[in-house]
């Protein structure tokens, strides 16, 4: 301790040595001087020896000198003893004072060092507590030395109860591995000092909680001894974000696939309906019943394509100001006639209008689908509740399958049931098209997919809150917009915007129509329908072909009908080229997609009309007649 003191306290050591020189040496010097200057002192005469003295003479002189010295001692013994004791006492007191001084300084430094060490430990503990990363410091045998709150929360334990408890029994476990990998990691860190990182895995606690964790081990010095630091990073949020991103990409891919299927399916439905109509005109009344069944089946199949297009956001979308409360009342009225009496229908609506710019038909279908799903989850009965409210959404507040909902004011619609709930492993799949947990033949699996497409189309969000055996709540967010009829007028169908409301019919002869569709069955159908109506029809299979035909004789054709999706050149591209060649020829575009936004943009650029497949023959003849009447 004293060596350490003198090593690290050079100034204090210098002062103490100076005190020794100042007090002790002068006292000793004074004592010696008095002895030599006193006539009766112990000083001895010098012994002079001549070269001629014999050894006997020298010995005699020494004996004589010794006898003289003994005589002086006997005469001065009391005074010398007193002086010696005073000097010894003074020196002892001085040395004692120095030792006490050194002890006080050493104790003070020891206390300062201990206090500083305590402060450092408290600062380190505060730093550990402030970290979101779970950290635990243990001995290499696994006994816990310290841990932060994040670690205690992760293992679902109280930090103050974990002193000297072995960490082995507390670390989270995976379903497929044991602690051999952890033991290997600890031995590697202890022997080499190189940190060891265990690959991220999904870990599970005994209470059912699970999380994706990355666990790392490293060697550190803790309170003067070599210890093991266990660091756990919770990657669950990152994993969830990655899963959401993959889900969004998957839903986009499925949406494109669903849109393509609906497009092709609509072509087939149009052919079925069209040929059924042509067939019914040539049959007797008693045989037309069979054709009617074909037509009704085709019309029922249209509902599936509408749901596919709603999911892929390519269906018909007609915005108008709607009162959410009125839409809920309409849906409840429909459900009250179709669900079991054991299910109680309830609603909670505000006493003020909650309005939004929305497609009333799509919104009603979405609320109806949610209600039917809720009904199926309560076979023994329960409560089905519809609620509506207004809510201010802050930034980064609402997270859903497609990302984060922007801040703003939203109409909030919730549909709650007291049913069986949705199992956790099924939740990521509920919006997938054709996914269903119902028995075969009981559902198409398109209900929630259509709901997702509808809400996405309205720039909103949908959030699911579910608990097994307690129920599920679907919460829909749709941007709120205050009803103002002077600034916002309801939209109508495209052909209503572009066609004059007149009953004037074009002549049934001498009109030449150029038709282009890449589907042979559709070309043949259109040719038959238009020819039967009295028109002369030329058909072609792709955009380049129709453009070449029209460019060679632009004045021949009174109307051009184009399919939107075609090889080589799309209907939109052909339309622009035709307008460059001849501006006043009417152009009608048909498509298996009902893209009202895209068609509206084309209307503003001069398109005369737009029809979505499947097209009923009567609708086609009506639009063609009006376009020709407009020209002539």
> What secondary structure does DSSP assign to 67-109, as a single string?
HHHHHHHHHHHHHHHHHHHHHHHHHHHHHHHHHHHHHHHHHHH
Residues 499 and 585 in one domain: yes
User: Has residue 259 been placed in a domain?
Assistant: yes
Domain boundary among 176, 203, 234: 234
The whole-chain average pLDDT of the chain stands at: 75
> What mean pLDDT comes out for the span 530-544?
88
Note the pLDDT of residue 472. 93
Note the pLDDT of residue 596. 54
Q: Which two tokens stand for residue 306?
A: 């509408």
User: Has residue 411 been placed in a domain?
Assistant: yes
Q: Is the dihedral of CA 253, 255, 258, 264 positive or negative?
A: negative
C-alpha distance from residue 53 to each of 56, 65, 66, 563 (Å): 8, 16, 19, 151
HEC string of 406-450 equals: CCEEEEEEEEEECCCCCCCCCHHHCCCCCCCCCCCCCCCCCHHHH
Distance of CA 585 to the CA centre of its chain: 53
Residues 142 and 252 in one domain: no
Note the pLDDT of residue 70. 53
Percent of the chain with pLDDT over 90: 9
Residues 458 and 357 in one domain: yes
Question: Could you tell me the CATH number of the domain that includes residue 564?
Answer: 3.40.50.2300
User: Has residue 409 been placed in a domain?
Assistant: yes
Q: β-strand 587-591 against 559-563: which pairing, if any?
A: parallel
User: Has residue 488 been placed in a domain?
Assistant: no
558: left (phi over 0), alpha (psi -120 to 50) or beta: alpha
Note the pLDDT of residue 163. 65
- Give the torsion through C-alpha atoms of 78, 81, 86, 88, to 10 deg: 180
Question: Could you tell me the CATH number of the domain that includes residue 208?
Answer: 3.30.450.20
Residues 219 and 146 in one domain: yes
User: Has residue 111 been placed in a domain?
Assistant: yes
Residues 501 and 618 in one domain: yes
Question: Which residue range(s) make up the domain with 420?
Answer: 320-479
User: Has residue 486 been placed in a domain?
Assistant: no
Terminal Cα-to-Cα distance of the chain (whole angstroms): 116
Residues 625 and 503 in one domain: yes
Domain boundary among 210, 234, 258: 234
Residues 390 and 365 in one domain: yes
Note the pLDDT of residue 465. 92
Q: How many CA atoms lie within 13 A of 124 on its CB side?
A: 14
Residues 619 and 498 in one domain: yes
For 348, the 3-state DSSP assignment is strand
Q: Which two tokens stand for residue 290?
A: 């069979």
Burial class (CB in 10 A: 0-12, 13-18, 19+), 143: middle
pTM of the model: 0.47
Name the E strands within 541-580.
559-563
Buried/exposed code over 264-290 (b: 16+ C-beta within 10 A; e: otherwise)? ebbbbbbbbbbbbbeebeeeeeeebee
Burial class (CB in 10 A: 0-12, 13-18, 19+), 23: middle
Percent of the chain with pLDDT over 70: 70
- Give the torsion through C-alpha atoms of 552, 558, 563, 569, to 10 deg: 20
User: Has residue 484 been placed in a domain?
Assistant: no
339 or 60: which leads in pLDDT:
339
Residues 55 and 77 in one domain: yes
Residues 384 and 533 in one domain: no
Distance CA 309, CA 466 (A): 28
| Spatial contact of 535 and 506, defined as CB atoms under 8 Å apart | no
DSSP annotation of 273 reads H
Q: What is the pLDDT of residues 253-306, one digit of tens each?
A: 666 666 666 667 777 778 887 888 777 777 777 677 777 778 777 776 766 666
452 or 304: which leads in pLDDT:
452
Question: Could you tell me the CATH number of the domain that includes residue 329?
Answer: 3.30.565.10
Write down how long the chain is: 632
> What mean pLDDT comes out for the span 375-382?
88
Q: Which two tokens stand for residue 556?
A: 């021949």
Residues 530 and 451 in one domain: no
- DSSP annotation string for 172-216: -B-SS--THHHHHHHHHHHHH---EEEEEEEEE-TTS-EEEEEEE
Domain boundary among 74, 95, 121: 121
144: left (phi over 0), alpha (psi -120 to 50) or beta: beta
Residues 523 and 424 in one domain: no
User: Has residue 414 been placed in a domain?
Assistant: yes
Count of structural domains, the chain: 5
């Amino acid at each position: 301790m004293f060596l350490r003191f003198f090593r690290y306290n050079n100034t204090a050591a210098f002062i103490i040595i100076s005190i020794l020189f100042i007090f002790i040496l002068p006292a000793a010097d004074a004592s010696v001087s008095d002895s030599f200057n006193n006539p009766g002192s112990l000083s001895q005469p010098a012994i002079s020896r001549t070269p001629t003295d014999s050894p006997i003479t020298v010995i005699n002189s020494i004996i004589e000198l010794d006898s003289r010295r003994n005589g002086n001692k006997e005469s001065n013994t009391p005074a010398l003893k007193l002086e010696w004791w005073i000097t010894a006492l003074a020196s002892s007191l001085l040395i004692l004072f120095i030792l006490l001084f050194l002890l006080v300084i050493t104790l003070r430094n020891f206390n300062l060092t201990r206090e500083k060490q305590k402060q450092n430990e408290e600062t380190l503990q505060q730093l550990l507590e402030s970290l979101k990363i779970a950290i635990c410091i243990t001995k290499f045998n696994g006994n816990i030395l310290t841990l932060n709150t994040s670690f205690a929360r992760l293992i679902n334990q109280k930090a103050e109860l974990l002193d000297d408890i072995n960490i082995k029994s507390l670390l989270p476990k995976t379903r497929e591995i044991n602690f051999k990998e952890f033991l290997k990691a600890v031995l590697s860190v202890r022997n080499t000092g190189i940190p060891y990182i265990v690959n991220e895995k999904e870990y599970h606690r005994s209470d059912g909680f699970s999380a994706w964790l990355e666990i790392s081990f490293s060697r550190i010095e803790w309170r003067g001894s070599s210890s093991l630091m266990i660091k756990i990073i919770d990657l669950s949020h990152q994993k969830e974000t990655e899963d959401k991103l993959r889900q969004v990409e998957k839903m986009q891919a499925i949406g494109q696939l669903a849109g393509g299927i609906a497009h092709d399916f609509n072509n087939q439905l149009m052919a079925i309906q069209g040929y059924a109509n042509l067939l019914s005109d040539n049959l007797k009344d008693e045989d037309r019943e069979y054709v009617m069944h074909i037509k009704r089946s085709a019309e029922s199949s249209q509902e599936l394509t509408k749901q596919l297009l709603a999911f892929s956001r390519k269906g018909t979308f007609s915005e108008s100001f709607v009162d959410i409360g009125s839409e809920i009342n309409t849906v409840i009225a429909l459900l009250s006639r179709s669900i079991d009496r054991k299910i109680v229908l309830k609603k909670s609506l505000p006493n003020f209008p909650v309005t939004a710019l929305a497609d009333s038909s799509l919104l009603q279908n979405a609320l109806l689908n949610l209600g039917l799903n809720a009904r199926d989850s309560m076979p023994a009965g329960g409560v089905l509740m519809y609620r509506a409210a207004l809510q201010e959404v802050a930034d980064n507040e609402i997270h859903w399958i497609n990302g984060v909902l922007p801040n703003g004011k939203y109409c909030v619609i919730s549909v709650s049931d007291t049913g069986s709930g949705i199992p956790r492993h099924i939740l990521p799949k509920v919006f997938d098209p054709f996914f269903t947990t119902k028995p075969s033949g009981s559902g198409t699996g398109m209900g929630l997919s259509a709901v997702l497409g509808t809400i996405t189309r309205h720039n909103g969000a949908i959030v699911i809150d579910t608990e097994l055996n307690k129920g599920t709540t679907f919460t829909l967010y749709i941007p709120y917009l205050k009803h103002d009829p002077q600034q916002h007028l309801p939209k109508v169908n495209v052909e209503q915007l572009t066609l004059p409301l007149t009953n004037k019919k074009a002549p049934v002869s001498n009109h030449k129509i150029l038709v282009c569709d890449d589907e042979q069955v559709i070309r043949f159908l259109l040719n038959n329908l238009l020819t039967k109506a009295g028109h002369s029809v030329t058909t072609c299979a792709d955009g380049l072909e129709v453009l070449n035909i029209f460019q060679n004789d632009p004045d021949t054709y009174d109307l051009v009908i184009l399919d939107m999706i075609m090889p080589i050149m799309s209907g939109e591209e052909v339309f622009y080229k035709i307008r460059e060649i001849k501006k006043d020829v009417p152009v009608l575009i048909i498509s298996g997609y009902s893209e009202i936004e895209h068609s509206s943009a084309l209307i503003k650029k001069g398109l005369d009309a737009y029809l979505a497949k499947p097209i009923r023959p009567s609708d086609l003849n009506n639009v063609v007649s009006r376009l020709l009447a407009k020209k002539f």
